[in-house]
């Protein structure tokens, strides 16, 4: 998924923010289902 690719790039810049973004994507994914 492109979302994870973007997160991977952000991980290099800021691990903490990337984790927050990952959590948001996971929550939105569950909410969509």
Domain boundaries, the chain: 1-32
pLDDT of residue 19: 81
Prediction pTM value: 0.40
pLDDT of residue 14: 67
- The contacts of residue 32 (CB under 8 Å, 6+ apart) are none
Cβ count within 10 A of residue 26: 10
pLDDT of residue 10: 63
Tokens of 19: 């984790």
Question: What confidence tens digit (pLDDT) does each residue in 1-33 have?
Answer: 576 777 777 666 667 777 888 899 888 888 876
Are 7 and 29 in contact by the 8 Å Cβ rule? The answer is: no
- The residue with tokens 């939105």 is 28
């Amino acid at each position: 998924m492109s979302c994870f690719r973007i997160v991977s790039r952000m991980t290099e810049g800021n691990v903490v923010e990337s984790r927050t973004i990952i959590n948001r994507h996971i929550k939105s994914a569950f909410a969509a289902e």
